Structure 1
Amino acid sequence: MWGPFLLFIGVIMSELVKTIKSSSKNNKNSFQRFYDINGWGFVLPAVILVSLFMIYPIVNSLWMAMHSGRGVIMEFVGFGNVTRLFNDPVFLKALSNTFIFLIIQVPIMILLSLALSSCLNSPNLKFRSLFRLAIFLPCVTSLVAYSILFKSMFAYEGIVNSFLMWTGIVNDPIPWMADPFWAKVTIIIAITWRWTGYNMIFFLSAMQNIDKSIYEAARIEGVSPIKQFFFITVPLLKPVILFTTVMSTIGTLQLFDEVVNITAGGPANETLTLSMYIYDLSFKFVPNFGYAATVSYVIVFFAAILAMLQFRIARDK
């Protein structure tokens, strides 16, 4: 189990020895040799810590994905866990739910963040700081606290149904938690409410760094504010849009807290996500850490593929 880690440490130590030998062969002065050795001495503790707490767990989890069982009772199955994925209806359901949240929620959140940041960047808007704080505040709240709050708000007799019935929008309460469609809508509303302000800050800071003379020249040429937004602001924000889209994609693929605390994956696994399924495989069902590790690498695979596609689409022609 410690083989990959020890191998990595061995490579580092061999490089250290090569550096010392190379210094001697090149007849460097004593100060230069001292500098090389101390450089490795400063780097080595950080390398050991990164290897121990990051590289080793990654390598070990990849090795674990080729086993099946729990605890130390693990049986090598090779790619058997990968084959099991395609025959696991719960995994396929969790995968489809995760992509539904990804395809619907991420574009809505990015567009909403972009629109809000454009409005809050206007110098003519009063109380801009207050509005910015109000929109950004949800992303610094506790995940569990706001999830429980949303669960109570969207309960059958919660404040949302009471408001909708009081205004006459609906005649009967909406089963937010009991209906598969409305349960997904609740999760999408919750994560959009929390993370829109987070992405808005990136757009807002980028907009404030755009040279004002560009907009001044556009106004002199008679370009409307809408055209300025689509033909000046959006193209100049492309790196930030790419960054927020990639980070939001990764975050949605790892969606866990909201689902666990609001719907618990229900009804009938209709809001179950990949991260929640990994948790269930590890701690709720009969533990199978090897299969759970395999599902976790599915998230890594799709995160890498989607990030590569987004980088390719957004690259300059």
Structure 2
Amino acid sequence: MTALAGPAAAAPAGATATHRRALLRRRAVPYLLLAPALVTFAVFKAYPIVSSLLLSLTTGSGAATRDAGTANYRRLLHDPLFWTALRNTGQILVVQVPVMLALALALAVGLNSALVRWRTVWRLGVFMPVVTGLVATGVVFAFLLRTGDGPVNKLLALIGLSGVDWLGDPFWARMAVVLVLTWHYTGYNAVIYLAGLQGIPRELYEAAMVDGAGPLRRFASVTLPALRPVLLFTVVLSTIGTLQLFDEPFVLTRGGPDNATLTVSMYLYDNGFHYFDFGYASAIAYALTLIVSVLGAAQMRLMGERP
């Protein structure tokens, strides 16, 4: 009995080891499949984020780089040009985002109506500006809004209005940036709203009509509440995008006149790639990240679902 017990006992142990190895291989397969994405994220996302944070605690460049602690962040608090850039960005934000989203919602409601013919064609036309390159958009609008003999000023003259110094006056330069952003991104948000509208059950509108609700009442009581998650998504996304605004004012005005259209991202770019003060540019980037995070959290809190 003792001689038979050894092989009999060894067989289950070997089978258990084989089963354990097979189990480990099965468990390793998902990680192997995820490995390319994880390595890419670590190299191109995680490492730059951590490196930028460490860089924000230094000053100088190249061999002259030295530790600076929180000096860049303290400098940021007393930098009038940073606050000018932040104020410009905020002014563009509070005007452009509500106007753009209101227009997008109106377009989506119109394009969702059964009374509109060739809706597919109109939807395509509304979305077309989105696929236009930002630099190309800026160049075209710089030509259209040119002071003096620009096509827009010529059109204003034809209807008896005086021309506007679109790119030379601080106020109108900011309005030009708002105009370009609204033209470029309204269709994108309209398509998102249209998808949300098409997901609202018709029964809700029918029930509201039975109760005697008119079009405006149905819009306020059915459409807007049903679109609340979509509205939150577009508000947060548009806010983040506007706070990171760079391409349009850079091409249109280069931040002028008199820094009237200088944005935080442009100021970051100037410090990093004009003055090679990468430590200070990194501090600006993290300050902007903090602002975006706070505003996003506030919007989620104010517009999020309530119990």
2:46 maps to what in 1?
55
Question: What amino acid is the match of 2:194?
Answer: L
Match of 2:98 in 1: 107
Of 50, 54, 58, which residue of structure 2 is paired with 1:67?
A: 58
Shift of 1:312: 0.4
Q: 1:44: Cα distance to partner? A: 3.2
Distance in 1, Cα, partners of 2:36 & 2:131: 33
> What does residue 191 of structure 1 align with?
181
Q: Could you say if the C-alpha distance between residues 304 and 30 of structure 1 is closer, same or farther in structure 2, counting changes exceeding 3 Å?
A: same
The range that moved more, 269-278 or 220-229, is 220-229
Structure 1, unmatched stretches of 5+, are 1-24
| Worse-matched range after superposition: 275-284 or 239-248 | 275-284
Letter in 1 for 2:294: I
- How far the C-alpha of 1:295 sits from its partner, in A, is 0.6
Provide the rounded CA distance (Å) in 2 between the counterparts of 1:207 and 1:40: 39
Equivalent residues in 2 for 1:214-253, closer than 5 Å: 214-253=204-243
Aligned residues: 290
For 2:138 and 2:152, locate their aligned partners in 1 and report how far apart those are by CA, in whole Å.
15
Letter in 2 for 1:163: L
Q: Let me know the Cα RMSD of the aligned residues.
A: 1.7
Q: State how 1:258-297 maps to structure 2 within 5 Å.
A: 258-284=248-274, 286-297=275-286
Q: Larger deviation: 44-53 or 242-251? A: 44-53
Distance 1:35 1:274, change over 3 A: same
Find the aligned partners of 1:150 and 1:26 in 2 and give their Cα distance: 70
The corresponding residue for 1:179 is 169
Map 1:84-163 to 2 at 5 A: 84-156=75-147, 157-163=149-155
Q: What's the offset of the Cα at 1:116?
A: 1.1
1:110-161 Cα shifts (integer Å, max 9, x gaps): 1111111111110111222222122111111011111111111111120111
1:226 maps to amino acid: L
SS at the partner of 2:60?
A: strand
Distance 1:198 1:303 in 2: 21
Give the AA of the match of 1:112. Answer: L
Q: Residues 215 and 228 of structure 1 are in contact (CA less than 8 Å); yes or no, is this contact kept in structure 2?
A: yes
Q: Secondary structure at the match of 1:269?
A: coil
Mean Cα deviation higher: 104-113 or 235-244: 104-113
Residues 29 and 201 (structure 1), Cα distance of their counterparts in 2 relative to 1, 3 Å cut? same
How far has the Cα of 1:72 moved from its partner?
A: 4.5
Matched, 1:302 2:255: no
| Inter-partner Cα distance in structure 1 for 2:227 and 2:176 | 30
TM-score under structure 1 normalisation?
0.88
TM-score (norm 2): 0.90
Partners of 2:302 and 2:201 in 1: how far apart?
26
| Alignment-derived partner of residue 4 in structure 1 | none
Change (3 A) 1:39 1:139: closer
Q: Distance in 2 between matches of 1:296 and 1:182?
A: 28
Supply the distance in 1 between the matched residues of 2:202 and 2:165 (Cα, whole angstroms): 49
Q: Which residue of the partner structure matches residue 43 of structure 1?
A: 34
1:27 is displaced (CA, Å) by 10
Distance 2:132 2:49 in 1: 30
- Counterpart of 2:191 in structure 1 is 201
For residues 182 and 136 of structure 2, what CA distance do their matches in structure 1 show? 16
After superposition, the Cα gap between the structure-2 partners of 1:131 and 1:72, relative to the gap in structure 1 and judged at 3 Å, is farther
Determine helix, strand or coil for the equivalent of 1:107.
helix
- In 2, the alpha carbon distance for the partners of 1:26 and 1:67 equals 53
2-structure distance, mates of 1:150, 1:297: 31
Name the aligned partner's letter for residue 230 of structure 2.
V
Give the aligned residue type for 1:58.
I
Pairwise CA distance, 1:28 = 6.3
CA distance in 1, matches of 2:34, 2:96: 42
> C-alpha displacement at 1:31, in angstroms?
1.9
Q: What's the CA shift for 1:283?
A: 1.5
